[in-house]
Amino acid sequence: MKTKIFKLLIFFITIQFGCIQYIYSQENHITGKVIDESNIPVAGVTVMIKGTRTGVQTDFDGNYSIKANQGQVLVYSYLGMGDQEKTIGMSTKIDVTLYEDAEALNEVVVTAMGIERAEKTLGYAVSTVKAEDFEEARETDPIQALQGKLSGVQITGGGGGVGTSTKITVRGLTRIFGDNNPLWVIDGVPISDSNSSDGDISGGANYGNRAQDINPDDIETLTVLKGASAAALYGSRASNGVIVVTTKKGKGKGATITYSSTMRFDNPLRLPDFQNSYGPGSLGVYNEADGDNIQNASKGWGPAISSGTTYTDYAGNLQTFEANPDLQKDFYDLGSTRVHSFSISGTSNEGKNNYRVSTSYSSKEGILPGSSLDRLNLGLKSGSEFSDKLSSEFSVNYINTAIEGAVATGANDPNVLTSIINTLPRVTNLDVFKPWVADDGVTQLAPVDADGTNNPYWIVNENQRTADTERFFGNVAFTYKPIDHFSMLGRVGYDTYNTKYFRNNHKGTIGLLDGNYRQSTTSRNEVTLDYLATYDNSFEDFDVTLRGGVQWNQQTTDVIGNIGTTLTIPELFDPGNVESNVPFNNYSQTRIFGAFGDFTMTYKKWLSLNATARNDWSSTLPEGANSYFYPSVALSFVFTDAFKIDSNILSYGKLRGNWANVGGDTSAYQLDYLYYPQSSWYGQFSTSGTFPFDGQLAFSGPNSLPNATLKPENQLSKEIGVELGFFKNRLTLDATYYKTSTTDQIIALSTPASTGYSSAWTNLGEISNTGFELQLGIKLIRAKGFKWDLNYNFTTNETIIEDLGDLDTYTMASTYNGLTVAAGQGESIGLYGNRFARAVDENGNTIEDQILVGSTGLRYEGNTERLGDIMPDFTMGLTSVFSYKGWRLSTTFDWKEGGVLYSQTVSNLRTSGLAAETAVDRETLFVDPNTFVDNGDGTYSENTTPIPSVQSYWSNYSAARIHESNTFDATYIKWREIALSYSLNKKQLEKIPFNALRFSLQGRNLALFNTSIPHIDPETNLFGSSSNGGGIEYNGLPSTSSIGFGVNVKF
């Protein structure tokens, strides 16, 4: 796979260099420098020749160079500053000063259906990040690059594995069953962000989600449409918000070549705090003569390591206790990430044609031995203006991704974290596990536990988890303007990918000695056809735009594969080499047809009304209920313009509000009965078997009873907001309050076993989200040559289950030990589990500070209760940017407050005696403080009985069956990123053949603060990006901290 990627890369770069014929003409140059009112150079100013499409941008020092003729007019424009025009005379050097201007805040934002609108006319909240935000810390996953930078958006990483999925939620969970992910749209076309993870409590593998395929170096802007009104034109798929990506295109005259390279090194951000004082054994004793051995002894409850106790190690060698403090650290590799990006962009034919060709190759070696990710991105985007009436745009992207050593998750799959983190005694030397396989290629050497735990190096070397993906997405669009003020757009968008998954348990794997494998191919295709007609005109003080159109979308998914068990030849994974081979095939196809309209009227640029309407027809709903209509209306009022407020304090003021009612459908085939092939059966008296049985295949029906009377979901959204600018917009504020209610949710409701189904599809329930968002921008310092900018965001969202019909709770995710994520009537989505027993008063009310113990002085299990909310109370982000001449320093902090997290890793560490806290007062018996004894007559006495042993205390206190002690406040603060860069100035560049050159130092996830959770990263999430589960960590791979450097060149 790597060879294939390398050949494609060389081929594509060769094509790109062929494009250099566009470079350099013989015209004279107009040069100059653009500064602001503080005499600070302004980078990124657009310098256009008026009346043409020819233009350039200023470099890092504010310098520009453009080919133009005497008498032409240059227009200088930059967001937040007033435009300047200069007529070219005899001089070839023109310097310009730009001044901040509230009117210049009229930034153009790409909204629904690719419609561009002035930001000051929007009646809803949006958040936008630009190219430089992705370029600073060079994160290869565009989702993670957004962490801490946007209000109303919660982003949770999946751990430190290569390509692991990242979950993104906009304004809370709107569904208790089904998809809560936002819709991704690139250049006006929806694309898939489907989850390629099957991780859950029972095991699986995490291969990531498809939004990671987007090349961050191709992104010009990324805008999050957060409210239903903002996203209504995209239809029911946009009810969870929309992420609109606009990619870069060619600019200026001639061609620009850019190259960037980044090298980054990764280490675990946080490893558990282990004790290194006690070895294996029980109650302070380890004696092989009495039957103890390293495989079955308790891992950290033996004698002191300093006692000189001898033992037989996993390979059968006699050893003496000796602490190995770096046991876990030594297992992980030094991870690395290398990214090389190359592009050629420009214009021709006096700016009527533009093009951009890009290549990016990223290679990542994970901290888990044997894990890697290689990704090749190839992109082409072009635009042509054939005449004053006809123009076109075209883009195509090819992505090839190869993942090896994807992280196994959960408990039952051979997860290396189970054997490394949770079970190895502190006297273990990792060399004992090498080699891990005998010469016969089947017999495992030095297993951790002969009854169920494999040699860790066997797991990472013999049990494969791979995924190879090829993907194409892009669009072709034509715009025709037959008459003034009227245009028609026709667009075809496509997104197709093919992923080959493979995972196996090698013959000899403990628990699966005969070996097995699973291979499958997922093919997904999505086609979107758009037609949009637009009429816009001005009538004295009114600007009017009327749009109407239709959209047809079809999504097809085909999964085909087989499961083979009991291998004959150990490393031949073929249906002919297994005793049992079960093929499977899942196919689905959905269609949505929508018709929509959009009306916008603006009065004197300060009052704007926008109304939209859309009707969808969905193939997933029954006839008679598959059509649903939803309108929206939004209003914006720039009162500083309306009342002509001209103040040195208040520079800009805008009020906005909107209302929207959005419909929603469901996934495919919930109306009819479908049957699936089965690979095994289980009967009474522990009988079981596999299919085919006696040559016959078997099929099972759906677990959920279909419902031919389902109706669309309905979401009602209201939002108000204010935007303010103070002191010539040195201080800006954007505040939003919203409330969303989703009713008639389509869920799978549990049913009695006597029905033959585990659940039945139905419309049930109402869930509401109420929240407040705040964004602040502060231009703190503007001194000669020095700038300091601060950007702050704050979000709080409360999700409440308003109605569940006759249910008290609805389980959204569960574990084998009784822990559940559930929606409770009148409550937020929470974590439910067993608590310690507590005293109750005469009215039956729980006395929280009186925990009960039994006759042994140990706590015991009480009732299953709500342990807390899985969502945070609030999130905040702070980004600081310093710039001085060519230097730039930016850093971002991310704060999550509240919510709870259950950690099975903490439970395992404590019950096994390996956690540092279990070594405190190991030899001392104590009375568990603040505990009571039930007298049996409704009264309680203070406990005076010491614990039997420290081992029994921790084994009971942190037992997996008692979830309370392993559930923690999930608050944390993370130092997300830092980037220090230096850009050479014009004088320095005169000595080298480059137009721009920048060097940078970068860091990601540098530190963790303010957390009460021991041993793990509180951001860890067991569930994949498509799951509504959360609040649970189970043997997760540590997240990583990264430090690196980079270079960026333009010529």
- Comparing CA positions, the residue from 699, 708, 701, 703 lying closest to residue 670 is 708
Separation CA 571–CA 461 (nearest Å): 12
pLDDT of 264 reads 95
For residues 173 and 871, the answer to whether their CB atoms sit within 8 Å is yes
pLDDT of 60 reads 67
Considering only 563-567, 635-639, 836-840, which range has the smallest mean pLDDT? 563-567
In tens, the pLDDT along 32-41 reads 999 887 677 8
Q: What structural domains and CATH numbers belong to the chain?
A: 27-100 (2.60.40.1120), 126-268+335-414+463-664+705-828+871-899+973-1050 (2.40.170.20), 278-322+415-462 (no CATH), 835-870+904-969 (no CATH)
pLDDT of 861 reads 93
pLDDT of 304 reads 96
Number of other CB atoms surrounding residue 520 within 10 Å: 17
> Which SS3 state, helix, strand or coil, does residue 317 take?
coil
In tens, the pLDDT along 285-311 reads 998 877 778 887 788 999 999 999 999
- Comparing CA positions, the residue from 30, 355, 271 lying closest to residue 1038 is 271
In tens, the pLDDT along 845-881 reads 999 999 999 999 999 999 999 999 999 999 999 999 9
In tens, the pLDDT along 945-985 reads 999 999 999 999 998 889 999 999 999 999 999 999 999 98
pLDDT of 207 reads 84
* Length in residues, the chain: 1051
- Comparing CA positions, the residue from 588, 533, 526 lying closest to residue 555 is 526
Confidence band for 345, pLDDT divided at 50, 70 and 90:
very high
pLDDT of 604 reads 93
Whole-Å CA distances, 392 to 157, 646, 682 = 39, 43, 60
In tens, the pLDDT along 356-377 reads 999 999 999 999 999 999 999 9
Number of helices (H), then strands (E), belonging to the chain: the values are: 10, 61
| Model confidence, pTM | 0.87
Q: Which residue has the tokens 């800006």?
A: 732
Separation CA 197–CA 206 (nearest Å): 4
Contacts of 504 (CB under 8 A, 6+ apart): 463, 464, 515, 516, 517, 518, 573
Helix 904-911, helix 950-957: angle, nearest 10: 160
Average pLDDT over residues 896-905: 94
> Which two three-digit tokens encode residue 789?
């900018």
> Which two three-digit tokens encode residue 903?
């950690």
Number of other CB atoms surrounding residue 800 within 10 Å: 19
Whole-Å CA distances, 254 to 29, 69, 92, 349 = 13, 16, 19, 10
Separation CA 819–CA 901 (nearest Å): 12
Confidence band for 691, pLDDT divided at 50, 70 and 90:
confident
Residue type (1 letter), 149: K
pLDDT of 201 reads 46
Burial of 540 (0-12, 13-18, 19+ CB in 10 A): exposed
What percent of the chain is predicted at pLDDT more than 70? 92
Q: Which residue has the higher pLDDT, 712 or 877?
A: 877
Confidence band for 341, pLDDT divided at 50, 70 and 90:
very high
Q: Please state the φ and ψ torsions of residue 385, each to the nearest 5 degrees.
A: -110, 100
pLDDT of 13 reads 46
In tens, the pLDDT along 726-749 reads 998 999 999 999 999 999 888 888
Residue 810 has pLDDT above 80, yes or no: yes
pLDDT of 741 reads 93
Contacts of 958 (CB under 8 A, 6+ apart): 906, 907, 910, 911, 965, 966
Q: What is the dihedral of CA 904, 905, 908, 912, to 10 degrees?
A: -170
Residue 701 has pLDDT above 90, yes or no: no
pLDDT of 451 reads 67
Average pLDDT over residues 979-1008: 90
Residue 172 has pLDDT above 70, yes or no: yes
Separation CA 1020–CA 159 (nearest Å): 6
For residues 852 and 933, the answer to whether their CB atoms sit within 8 Å is yes
Separation CA 932–CA 930 (nearest Å): 7
> Which SS3 state, helix, strand or coil, does residue 231 take?
helix
DSSP letter at 482 equals E
User: Positive or negative CA dihedral for 1026, 1028, 1030, 1034?
Assistant: negative
Average pLDDT over residues 527-535: 95
Terminal-to-terminal C-alpha distance of the chain: 32
> Which SS3 state, helix, strand or coil, does residue 604 take?
coil
Q: Please state the φ and ψ torsions of residue 430, each to the nearest 5 degrees.
A: -60, -25
Number of C-alpha atoms within 13 angstroms, CB side, residue 920?
A: 8
> Which SS3 state, helix, strand or coil, does residue 755 take?
helix
Buried b vs exposed e over 758-792: b needs ≥16 C-beta within 10 Å? ebbbbbbbbbbbbbbbbbbbbbeebeeeebbbebb
Q: Please state the φ and ψ torsions of residue 201, each to the nearest 5 degrees.
A: -65, -25
User: Positive or negative CA dihedral for 427, 429, 435, 441?
Assistant: positive
Considering only 334-348, 753-767, 907-921, 929-943, which range has the smallest mean pLDDT? 753-767
- Comparing CA positions, the residue from 789, 791, 788, 781 lying closest to residue 733 is 791
Residue 721 has pLDDT above 80, yes or no: yes
In tens, the pLDDT along 53-93 reads 788 888 767 888 898 888 889 999 886 677 889 989 888 88
User: Positive or negative CA dihedral for 62, 66, 71, 72?
Assistant: negative
Whole-Å CA distances, 641 to 271, 764, 994 = 56, 47, 45
Contacts of 308 (CB under 8 A, 6+ apart): 320, 321
> Which SS3 state, helix, strand or coil, does residue 827 take?
coil
In tens, the pLDDT along 842-855 reads 898 999 999 999 99
